[in-house]
Chains A and B, each alone.
Chain A
Amino acid sequence: MIRLRGWDDVMGMNLRNARISRENASAAIRLVNDKYATKEALLSVGAPTSPTLALLRSRREIAALDWDGLPDCWALKPNQSLGGSGILLSFGRRRRDWRSSSGKKIPRPMVADQLRRILDGDFSPRPNDWAMFEPLIRADPALALLSHQGLPDIRVICVGDEPQLAMLRLPTRFSGGRANLHQKAIGAAVDLATGRITYALVGKEPIEAHPDTGQPLIGATVPHWTGVLDAARRCAGATGLRYLGADIVVDADRGPLILEVNARPGLQIQNVTGHGLITATTQPRRH
């Protein structure tokens, strides 16, 4: 006898899409596709997120940019990019130039070129886009210890204000510093009540420790866990989404920060946590 009961709770793409189109208003989806507007909405309800240092909407604004007013460390992002593409990071200033995480020089023309590519929509689903500078986020030491380069983040699936499932995404050498699971970043199930990592996967392989650093993962705890959950709880109210995936990072100085809010969160979290999304999202747990 084939055992099929395990499938009952597994949500597929078809059901997810139907649920999103039923529960998430299109105005709210439009809002979260615009990262700048999302951050403004989050800040207006007092949710923690990274402020915008400069917003560039046209080539004229690139020419008028106050270069010396930029801090030493910053993140340059497209406003509407997908999958974290088009991001340029500065880890410090060196006279007129900046330098990357590996210490390579980032001269001004290179930044200007990246700005132009962002405005031309090279990294966005639309033909043009805006670019924004944010203060560089440095991962909390406890999370940086679990990771290899890059910025680990926590994906929390919420139904309304209530977190339902959470996973920690840790970049690996193979994922090139990105926290995208299909690029072989680590996905680690995080227990909602305690913030402890209970299970971890790379691709389809369960692992006990980080493959690059050997650091044990199972049993480690996400720092500021209650703060992370508090931040996740504020996303629905700020954006108007009813079913969402909040991406939250823990900064070394500023604590939990909402990086972005997804109206169409992926389904891979089911494999990472071993929990199907159907029960979690149709009979939301209350805390």
Chain B
Amino acid sequence: MERGDRTPSGDHRGVRRKVPVVLKVLAAVAGVGILLFGVLGSPSRALSRSSDTIGEREMVRITGPSNKTVEVLALIDTGATSSSMDTKLAKSLGFDLAHAPKVTVGSSLGREQRPVVDAVMQLADRSFVSKVNVNSRAKRETPVLLGRQDVQGLQVAVGKRLLTRPDTTTAPSALKILFAKAPAIDAVSLMSLLPLAALLIVVLRVVVGLNTLGTFSPVLLAMAYAQAGLTLGIPLTLAMFALGFVVQPLLLRLHLPRVARLGALIGVVTTCLIGAQLALGSAGLSDSWGMALPVVVTAIIIERLWEQWDIDGVRAAAVGAALTMGTAVLVALLLLTPYVRHLAERVPLQLAVVCAVWTVLVGTYRGLRLMELLRFAPTARVQDAAS
């Protein structure tokens, strides 16, 4: 690689260089394998120093009279005295609301009569029976609110979310968070994980050779997925892609310059998000919708997707979209892995520095990308035969 190679003796040096290339490739395969194994098999870790600390939002397990058990997201509200639960949820758990005793509750909405039920709850490895009043929480962010009577003896870490699971005080797994309804990981924790996400993107590009639509757009999508969950995030992304493909030809017909077209796309995407939220708001998803899609990035992805479709055809565009979303899911999984969150909570500065150093190291990789082993297989075969 250096100047000396240009002399005829460089040939021999070239021969000696051969084995390390193979080793590098094997190391790359092993690295990606270890990453996946690590993400999916991460040991549980407590995120806070004391076992009686919980976040502002936690998963809680509720058992009703019919012995049916659900795990839902609860808002921990120390400003409220008692806990409350959504009517639909209470009915599905088998509570008999018609014959339940009534209680008068004063809230910001005024005073009202609500039925009260006894629910068996499990939160951060504690089981207790709670007197829960029942009202419609369809327009609220979470189906359950836990007041201070039910979190006695626990400390609430303001700004943190999902630190525990119902049955242990360790963090829930990445997959569980992503498939929970409206999980909403706090933005502060996500911020400290950004350098790690960037490192993963660099590895996927430089070592694996995946080309996504936009270099770091999967990170922004991943942060959105971590905030809103896959069950909401993925369909919304797909719906916006579809919407973009309906709108783009119309915009092209207007002969707008690209910047105006992108601006209009942002407007259309936002309009539809708000419209869908207003129409479906009663589904109880309200708070996380705004987080579910990074609108500007989505508009840019749509534009790129359209260009790729135009130039390289449907298949290339579909592959590009799938790779972008797949990478986003992988990044989200990594960011939400209990062990990674543990590191980000305990040693955020060191994590950032280490990730930056590794990013530079990965950037110096000059060997073949894994995808190029497929792409250049014909050349290698020809050269093999020739040598």
Where the two chains meet, the residues of A that have a C-beta atom closer than 8 Å to any C-beta of B are: 3-10, 12-15, 18, 83, 85, 113, 116-117, 120-122, 127, 182-183, 201, 204, 267, 270-271, 274-276, 278-279, 282-284
Contact = CB atoms under 8 A, between A and B. Distances in A.
B258 interface: yes
Given A3-B384, A85-B311, A8 B11 contact: no
A122 B386 CA distance: 46
B255 A113 contact: yes
Contacts of A83: 311
B6 to A, nearest CB: 6
A83 B209 CA distance: 21
How large, as a class, is the contact surface on chain B? 35 or more
Contact of A7 (B15, B365, B368): B368
Contacts of A204: 378
A12 B384 contact: no
Contacts of A276: 379, 383
Contacts of B380: 6-7, 10
A282 B311 contact: no
A10 B14 contact: no
Interface stretch (B17-25, B136-144, B294-302, B350-358): B17-25
A94 B334 CA distance: 63
A5 B378 contact: no
A271 B21 contact: no
Contact of A271 (B22, B312, B376): B376
A197 to B, nearest CB: 16
A137 B378 CA distance: 34
Contacts of A284: 6
Contact of B387 (A5, A183, A270): A5
A117 B382 CA distance: 45
B167 interface: no
Candidate in A7, A182, A282 with the most chain B CB atoms within 10 angstroms = A7
13 contacts: A5-B18, A6-B387, A7-B368, A7-B380, A9-B383, A10-B368, A10-B383, A13-B372, A14-B365, A18-B366, A117-B255, A121-B257, A271-B375
Contact of A12 (B11, B312, B369): B369
A113 B369 CA distance: 42
Contacts of B1: 282
A5 B384 contact: yes
A282 B10 contact: yes
Nearest to B10: A283
Nearest to B4: A282
Among A13, A117, A275: residue with most chain B CB under 10 A: A13
Best-buried of A5, A10, A279 by chain B (most CB within 10 Å): A10
Nearest to B206: A14
Nearest to B376: A10
A120 B258 contact: yes
B11 A6 contact: no
B5 interface: yes
Closest 9 pairs between A and B when the two form their complex, measured CB to CB: A6-B384, A274-B382, A6-B380, A12-B368, A6-B383, A120-B257, A270-B379, A10-B376, A12-B372
Given A3-B384, A113-B255, 19 more contacts: A4-B22, A6-B382, A7-B368, A10-B368, A12-B368, A12-B369, A12-B376, A14-B365, A14-B369, A18-B366, A121-B258, A127-B259, A267-B376, A271-B378, A271-B379, A275-B382, A276-B383, A282-B1, A284-B6
Contacts of A279: 14
Contact of B209 (A13, A122, A282): A13
B367 interface: yes
Given A122-B258, A283-B5, A8 B17 contact: yes
A192 B312 CA distance: 31
Interface string B1-36: 100011010110011011001100000000000000
